[in-house]
Amino acid sequence: MAGKRHGAEEIIGKLGEAEMLMAKGGRVADAAKAIGVTEQSYYRWRRAPLGGDRSGRVVGALRTLVAIVLHRQARLPRCAPAPPPPRHEPPPADPITGREGDGSGIHFATRR
């Protein structure tokens, strides 16, 4: 019985899935079983070129992204909420005229 042939996109997707499982502390054997391939296929896929690009580079990029995401998720619960914005208060009243203003006491006369 012949095995299934996987396309490049499917291989990259499964490699990314396996990397996420291993980033959470899983073993290679468990990750390979979870994505439905043998360990040999997993290692062959990591080594083989896919579509002109080395899957090792793709896996390395995925590994970096997974590490960043897991790092950020670990930090989220510990972050304190942002403080509320400061409230705007009206300027103080002028002590001479009693009118609201900038408190400098200088007012310009207006013509009527």
pLDDT tens digits, one per residue of 71-106: 777 766 566 777 777 777 766 666 666 666 555 556
Are 23 and 67 contacting, i.e. CB atoms less than 8 angstroms apart? yes
Burial annotation 6-19 (CB, 10 A radius, 16+ → b, else e)? eebeebbebbbebb
Residue 24 lies in a domain: yes
What pLDDT score was predicted for residue 51? 47
Residue 27 lies in a domain: yes
What pLDDT score was predicted for residue 50? 58
What is the Cα–Cα distance from 63 to 60, expressed in whole angstroms?
5
What is the Cα–Cα distance from 95 to 106, expressed in whole angstroms?
11
Residue-wise pLDDT for 13-56, tens only, equals: 888 889 888 888 889 999 999 999 999 999 888 887 654 455 56
Q: How many domains does the chain have?
A: 1
Are 103 and 92 contacting, i.e. CB atoms less than 8 angstroms apart? yes
Instruction: Report which DSSP code applies to 50.
Output: E
Other CB atoms within 10 Å distance of the CB of residue 94: 16
Residue 38 lies in a domain: yes
Structural domain boundaries enclosing 47: 8-77
Residue 105 lies in a domain: no
What is the Cα–Cα distance from 101 to 29, expressed in whole angstroms?
74
